Structure 1
Amino acid sequence: MSDSGSDPTVEIYTSAWCGFCHRAKALLDAKGVAYREYDVTMGGPAKQTMLSRANGRTTVPQIFIGGVHVGGSDDLAALDESGKLDMLLGR
């Protein structure tokens, strides 16, 4: 992470017992990426926000980088494998 404060905000919507959520967070943690996590296990306003932002996608995780929806855990892993994740993160 840079100290400049210019890194894009990473947001991840998760639920408590979601293996894909844990995998996505582990990837971000391994890269040293700070993220905001929103637990949607019990629904509520955060779940409604996620549905709106993710164009109705109901599965978790839903991940956003710099306000752009990048998808779920498999999408995040594919971005990392292609080298595009680091570009999105401003690295």
Structure 2
Amino acid sequence: MSESAQIKAQKMIDDNAVMVFSKSYCPYCNNTKRILDGLNAKYTAYELNQESDGDDIQAALHKMTGQRTVPNIFIGRVHIGGNSDLEAVVRNGKDGKKLEDMLKEAGAL
């Protein structure tokens, strides 16, 4: 993992209200994008398997979050986790906030 990959990953997180690090063939990633699409949320998906630096970015995310799997989701610069974590936010909220509230605060709705 290069330092430039960590800088690039952090910049994508900082510059996007919702950032989803994904792999195009991953059913969990596709479900995450379906959930966000269903809410008409603005988000950026970075398909790690389609980018030349995808492995480096994934390694940087692992170092940053402790999570190696995808999707790796950030809303308003806050690490949400993976698809099951997003589904839990849909069901139960996070810190008393529903997903729609989190997306509005982040400027994604």
How high is the TM-score relative to the length of structure 1?
0.78
**Partner Cα distance (1:60, 1:44) in 2:** 12
- State percent identity of aligned pairs: 34
Unmatched runs of 5 consecutive residues or more in structure 2: 1-15
The 8 Å contact of residues 20 and 73 in structure 1, kept in 2 or not, is answered as yes
Unmatched runs of 5 consecutive residues or more in structure 1: 1-7
User: Does residue 22 in structure 1 map to residue 30 in structure 2?
Assistant: yes
User: Does residue 32 in structure 1 map to residue 46 in structure 2?
Assistant: no
For these two proteins, the number of residue pairs brought into alignment is 83
Query: For 1:3-82, what aligned pairs fall within 5 Å after superposition?
Result: 9-41=17-49, 43-53=54-64, 55-82=65-92
Runs of 4+ in 1 over 4 A off after TM superposition: none
TM-align CA RMSD: 1.9
Deviation at 1:18, TM superposition (A): 0.4
Deviation at 1:77, TM superposition (A): 1.1
Q: Which has the higher helix share?
A: 2
> SS where residue 57 of structure 1 aligns?
coil
How high is the TM-score relative to the length of structure 2?
0.67
